[in-house]
């Protein structure tokens, strides 16, 4: 693989967009613990991709990509709660859910290519 910097990784780029969308959507949420948790989970996706890449070891990179995948799952879990608590609309749920699944699939492919 010929990635030169983590900014070239599609999953990192998509995770950044998801993070910005989540921050904007939950900006006015008064449940500060919930808001903090879902925001931290989305940031965790992109940061683990970046940190793993910078370790310059496939083994370490793969480990961090798995952590990022776990954060994708956490985001989806939080989204179910958000919709049940009426913190977001159905269309926001679907958008964020689909983006999270897409990122997770990209990460799976990246992991497979590194093994």
| Residue 3 pLDDT level (bands cut at 50, 70, 90) | confident
Question: What is the pLDDT, as a whole number, of residue 40?
Answer: 98
pLDDT single digits (tens) 85-103: 999 999 999 999 999 999 9
Task: Mention every residue, 6+ apart, whose C-beta is less than 8 A from residue 68.
Answer: 11, 15, 44, 45, 46, 48, 49, 52, 103, 107
107: tokens are 């990460």
Domains and CATH numbers, the chain: 8-114 (1.20.1440.60)
């Amino acid at each position: 693989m010929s990635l030169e910097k983590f900014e070239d990784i599609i999953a990192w780029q998509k995770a950044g967009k998801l993070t910005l969308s989540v921050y904007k959507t939950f900006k006015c949420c008064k449940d500060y613990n919930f808001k903090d948790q879902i925001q931290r989970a989305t940031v965790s996706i992109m940061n683990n991709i970046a940190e793993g890449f910078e370790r310059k070891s496939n083994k370490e990179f793969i480990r961090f990509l798995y952590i990022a995948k776990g954060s994708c799952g956490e985001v989806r879990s939080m989204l179910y709660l958000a919709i049940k608590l009426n913190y977001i609309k159905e269309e926001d749920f679907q958008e964020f859910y689909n983006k999270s699944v897409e990122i997770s699939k990209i990460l799976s492919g990246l992991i497979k290519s590194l093994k």
